Amino acid sequence: ELMYTDPKRYSFLFQSYVQLTMLQLHTYKSTMPYKIMERSVFSARCFIENMKRTKLLKDVEVVVLEDWYDWCIQNANIVTDLI
């Protein structure tokens, strides 16, 4: 709710948590050979770009989120098969 009442204030906090939860979903060990996900670390990156372009994030916040995204991609072994 805070994100929607004051997006300029809470965009960074919200997006940081989104990336964390998306990473947790990607790395969760499933008993099934597949996972169906509506959103992902990759879609979270699109939201970062949008928040950057609409000036909801400060430059330093963008750098932190982009670095966090890059770390996830390089270190978390996120494998996707897009349909």
- Summarize pLDDT for 55-83 with one digit per residue, the tens: 999 999 999 999 999 998 898 877 777 66
Indicate whether this model's pTM tops 0.75: yes
Domains in the chain: boundaries: 1-28+38-75
Residues 6+ apart with CB under 8 A from 56: 7, 8, 11
Check if 38 is active-site.
yes
Three-class secondary structure assignment of the chain: CHHHHCHHHHHHHHHHHHHHHHHHHHHCCCCCCCCCCCCCHHHHHHHHHHHHHCCCCCHHHHHHHHHHHHHHHHHCCCCCCCC
- Summarize pLDDT for 10-24 with one digit per residue, the tens: 999 999 999 999 888
Catalytic position from the list 38, 49, 61, 66 = 38
